[in-house]
Structure 1
Amino acid sequence: MTSVPDGARSLRCLIVVPPLAGHVHPTLALAAELRARGHQVAWVGPEPTLRPMLGPDALVHPTGIRLFREQGGGGEAAIRSLWQGFVVPYARFTIKALDSAVRSWRPDLVLVDQHAPAGALVAHRHGVTWASLAPSALEIGRPLRETPDLEASLEELLRALWRQAGLPVAEYTDPRFSPDLLLAFTSRALTGEQPFPAHYALVGPLLAARPTPPAFPWERLDPDRRPVLVTLGTLAADVAGDFHARAAEALRPLADRVQGVVVATPEVLAALPDHVLGVPRVPMLELLERAGLGAVLCHAGMNTLCEALAHGVPLVLAPIRHDQPIAARQVVAAGAGRQVDFATAGPGELREAITAVLEEPGYRVAAERVRQAFVADGGARAAADRIERLTVARR
């Protein structure tokens, strides 16, 4: 165990995160680093959902569990649906349990995912230092500035949450943005050299082994063919449509040298042709480390694309909604991938994009450049350093 550095002390860190894999997984790495330094870590959320992702030893302050409205649409409609149908209702549902957790566990620091704003409200109420976790490209650098009506409507939703929590209006602080520390799980290799405030720390992706990785048929990987992963993440089943079929057809003429690994629902898997390997889930990090992936075709979800780039694997990106178009543009600007239209790209266009990132060396060179930048950013180690510096400064 690493000792707590001079000037610091053992901390109690409470993590407030939505019960979604893309938000929870980075906190595993952060928690492991903090615990290795002698700090204590706990989470707040629905235990039946969090426990399989966190493992049996994690301390979870339970909130109970309820269903939330399906997110729908694309563009502005999808972002409004995300906030109105999930983020705000989840905040209202969890705030009482959060308040109880802060009262009973008495954390020194609350680490608040930007899509779990109740954590910031409760921390402010109790005078506890809080830091923001930014796991996506949607909430840093004001990417919504070109849609001022949408930006203003989200601001009003957050101000309403503040008022409903009984907090003084004059003390309002946007709960997405801690005034003291924001940890963004991205890199200037992707965002570019836009200016960020000094308390923003772009630490790159936070990667750690998952407690319960899914099984995978390793014996079915063909050593004579280069694997290409096709995945739309965990939340796109409602809009996937025939994308997997188009991707499988795109890979058919390449089947002598490329093996598609397609992640999809059981209904879709049943209809896939034999030249691709269909699975319901993959152990993503292990697959990247063991399989020698040639490329990843995905929806530009931040976790998926950062995990691929952290292993130097180039991408074909078919963004669907939320922050995905922003993230896709960043990867293309970095030279590490190609972008296609999720709804309209046919097999021929998909095949041309896949072939390009497999065969044109510039994409892999750029992906390797991003990988090296991620290493330099420091990941969980850098995040923990910033947390310790913040708490020393606030003593």
Structure 2
Amino acid sequence: MHLLFLSRPASGHLYPTLRLAEELGERGHHVTFASGDPYLDELAGPGVRLVRFGKHERRLLDMPALAPDAVVADPRTTGAATDLAGTWDVPLVVAGQNLAESPHGWPSEQAPEPYVFTIPGARGKVHNPWRRHGRRPVLLVDGPSIGPLVRAFGDTDWQVVVSDTELPHADVLLTDGRLAAVSAGLRAGVPMVLAPKTAEEIAHADRIAALGVGKVVASLADAHAEDLRRLVEHLRVDEPTLATARRLRELVAEAGAPARAADRIEELLVAPPLARAA
């Protein structure tokens, strides 16, 4: 098959689906990896050609040689990919780094198109990567609604990093329960404190707590500084929680491995065939 991957780089110029594209190229498929990143200069593996489309994905329609048998989008390019797949009358699959449904009961992506979970690769030009300073513990804070909680750690030994990207240095993740954040936390094997607000965030937080790798703060009003610090410190050193997080990290890595994701792509596109994009 000729597969067109449509990608927008994530924060730090990370290409979540490039490793998956390379796996499919190694299997003999012809893969075109198209990105809007003007700095795209990766050396992709055999069978993968890199193409820049600039600011507008529809420029790809002016390249007749690109007409694919199927389009694989990441979540950031799903809208444009649906348009392109419809124009070419080919199937569309979404592949991303948020978790897919599994028998393990973790929060999962609810995508309108067939969805494949893939572990992102550390590829691309990462600008000003953060580094741990000394041996102080690191609290990663992710989510616009939990800014007030950060003040609880102002006079402590904790290094607080406010970010929307996964950091391998984190000892604990403080998040509102968005799927992208909890997916990153499970991928990294990091215990979580969750302060959800929306119904979706509450559902994700409850799942994480049930898995045994996080604790839910009922509301911001209930999150007193002393209690929050005590909870975060407990999760940092609690061996049952850490052991469960490590076990789930292994399961997540297996579920999103390039070979597993490529198997799923082939399964979706070959047997049975997907319905054409609308």
Q: Is the TM value for this pair above 0.5?
A: yes
**Percent identity of equivalent pairs:** 27
Q: 1:28 to 1:335 in 2, by over 3 A?
A: same
Match of 2:3 among 13, 30, 33: 13
Matched with 2:47 is none
Matched with 1:75 is none
Match of 1:211 among 100, 117, 124: 124
Does the 8 Å CA contact 2:193/2:214 hold for their aligned counterparts? yes
1:324 Cα shift? 4.3
Q: Deviations over 1:299-340 (max 9, x none)?
A: 434444334323432111234669644433321221211123
Match of 2:70 among 100, 109, 112: 109
Matched residue count: 262
The TM-score normalised by the length of structure 1 is: 0.54
**In structure 2, what is the Cα distance between the partners aligned to 1:325 and 1:210?**
33
Does the 8 Å CA contact 2:6/2:81 hold for their aligned counterparts? yes
Q: 1:346 to 1:132 in 2, by over 3 A?
A: same
Q: Could you say what secondary structure the match of 2:177 adopts? A: coil
Q: Could you say what secondary structure the match of 1:111 adopts? A: strand
After superposition, residues 318-337 of structure 1 pair within 5 angstroms as 318-319=195-196, 324-337=201-214
Matched with 2:89 is 127
Matched with 1:354 is 232
Matched with 2:248 is 370
Match of 1:189 among 104, 107, 110: 104
Q: Which has the larger radius of gyration?
A: 1
Q: 1:311 to 1:240 in 2, by over 3 A?
A: closer
Q: Does 2:269 correspond to 1:387?
A: no
Q: Could you say what secondary structure the match of 2:17 adopts? A: helix
Q: Deviations over 1:35-61 (max 9, x none)?
A: 34344443445334xx4xx54447234
Q: 1:100 to 1:240 in 2, by over 3 A?
A: farther
Match of 1:232 among 125, 142, 146: 142
Does the 8 Å CA contact 1:15/1:43 hold for their aligned counterparts? yes
> Which letter maps to 1:231?
V
Matched with 2:18 is 28
**In structure 2, what is the Cα distance between the partners aligned to 1:321 and 1:97?**
38
Q: Does 2:151 correspond to 1:245?
A: yes
In structure 2, runs of 5+ residues without a counterpart are: 45-49
Q: 1:106 to 1:210 in 2, by over 3 A?
A: same
Supply the RMSD in Å over aligned alpha carbons: 3.9
Does the 8 Å CA contact 1:42/1:61 hold for their aligned counterparts? no
Matched with 1:155 is none
1:354 Cα shift? 0.7
Q: Does 2:162 correspond to 1:263?
A: yes
The TM-score normalised by the length of structure 2 is: 0.72
After superposition, residues 7-156 of structure 1 pair within 5 angstroms as 11-17=1-7, 20-21=10-11, 25-48=15-38, 51=39, 55-57=41-43, 59-64=50-55, 94=57, 96-100=58-62, 103-114=64-75, 116-133=78-95, 135-136=97-98
Does the 8 Å CA contact 2:6/2:74 hold for their aligned counterparts? yes
Which has a greater percent of helix?
1
Q: 1:134 to 1:331 in 2, by over 3 A?
A: same
